[in-house]
Amino acid sequence: SENTLAQPVGTTLDRYIMRAQAEFAYATGELSQLLRDLALAGKIVHRDVNRAGLTGIIGSMGQQNVQGEQQQRLDVEANIRFIRALRNGGEACAILSEEEDDIIQTGNMKGRYVVAIDPLDGSSNIDVNVSIGTIFSIYRRVSAVGGPATRADFLQGGRAQIAAGYILYGTSTMLVYTTGHGVVGFTYENSLGEFFLSHPNITIPATGPVFSCNEGNWFDYPEYVRAFLTRCKQQRMSGRYVGSLVADYHRNLFTGGIYLYPPTAKNPAGKLRVLYENFPLALLIEQAGGRAETGQGPMLDLEPTDFHQRSPLFVGSPELMTSLLAESAASV
């Protein structure tokens, strides 16, 4: 896997990508350029996030997005930054964003990749200084190079992703991604404007002490989910829920644990979006030795039909996932 490169902690993202590219055919470096473009936008959003309270960028836009959510200023700002970076980088022929109704054609008709993105995840936490993130998912296009991207480019299914990852704007800003050769983590050194390799090989513990869900939805949860969570509590596990998917996911990746967003009355098909939240995080967790499920089967096997469709998401340590699914099987 990529980690056989065993590159030294502290190497820069650029150097890491160049060496990894030599080892794994990233199709002549285009994927490498894409990762650089995403990292650049991440640096810019890091700066926006870190001074949000000072630059009048907090608060809502007073308009709704296609999700029916109140768009936050930083949602829109991050959306612009990532679209611009990917357009200028030249490798992405189109982008699907949580904040855009339809796909954005970048004009890079010769670009061989498409990117689905949640430019800012955890919007409810922006104004209250709690960690937020960006989630991205990369496919090689199936439409003809030289023409515009098509719906089919984005609806290839989770296992067709060639790369996926997230940026976490937390106590430190980290870029975590996979290209199918394990999960690697970089930490941003703001004073130098560089991402440095800090976690060459991230794997999730087989089990862990944490369950993460919004218990406000308890009375909407399916019976098997309540049975599972009740056992977690009887075992005195810790309930940890930030309300930013990237932050909850990242913590559980290191402590071991399980994140649950089951169907609710408000979101009977689940709240989280398949193409730019669930699929990328499911690819990452499988690469890290964990599991991601919809409740009806592996997350990555869901056949997507719409750009902004939602699904339930259960994701985390394999032993906790097995235990949840055993409850599900016992309940039918």
Per DSSP (E only), the strands in the chain are 60-64, 70-72, 92-97, 104-105, 113-121, 132-140, 163-169, 173-178, 183-189, 194-199, 210-212, 238-239, 257-261, 291-293, 313-316
Q: How far apart are CA 279 and CA 115, in angstroms?
A: 12
- Kindly tell me the sign of the dihedral angle through the C-alpha atoms of 6, 24, 249, 70: positive
Q: Does residue 170 bind ligand AHG (CB under 6 A)?
A: no
70 binds ligand AHG (CB under 6 A): no
Q: Residue 25 class from Cβ within 10 Å (0-12 exposed, 13-18 middle, 19+ buried)?
A: exposed
Which run of H or of E encompasses 78?
Answer: helix 73-89
Record the tokens describing residue 266, joined without a space: 């408000």
Does 77 engage in binding with ligand AHG (CB under 6 A)? Answer: no
Q: What is the DSSP letter of 37?
A: H
Annotated binding site for substrate: 121-124, 214, 241, 259-261, 271
Please report how close the Cβ of residue 125 comes to ligand AHG at its closest, in angstroms. 8
Q: How many residues bind Mn ion (CB under 5 A)?
A: 6
Residue 83 contacts ligand AHG per CB under 6 A: no
Query: Nearest approach, Cβ of 192 to Mn ion (angstroms)?
Result: 28
**Residue 310 amino acid letter:** R
Q: Does 245 bind ligand AHG (CB under 6 A)?
A: yes
When asked if residue 244 is in the footprint of ligand AHG (CB under 6 A), the reply is yes
Find, among 67, 217, 45, the residue nearest to 131 by Cα. 45
If binding is defined by CB under 6 A, does position 118 make contact with ligand AHG? yes
Of these partners, ligand AHG, Mn ion, none, which one is at the site of residue 214 (CB under 5 to 8 Å by kind)? ligand AHG
Of 21, 123, 131, 134, the one binding ligand AHG (CB under 6 A) is 123
Question: Segment 49-78, which members bind Mn ion (CB under 5 A)?
Answer: 69
Interaction between residue 214 and ligand AHG (CB under 6 A): yes
Q: Give the footprint of Mn ion on this chain (CB under 5 A).
A: 69, 98, 118, 120-121, 123
Q: Give the footprint of ligand AHG on this chain (CB under 6 A).
A: 69, 98, 118, 121-124, 214, 243-245, 271
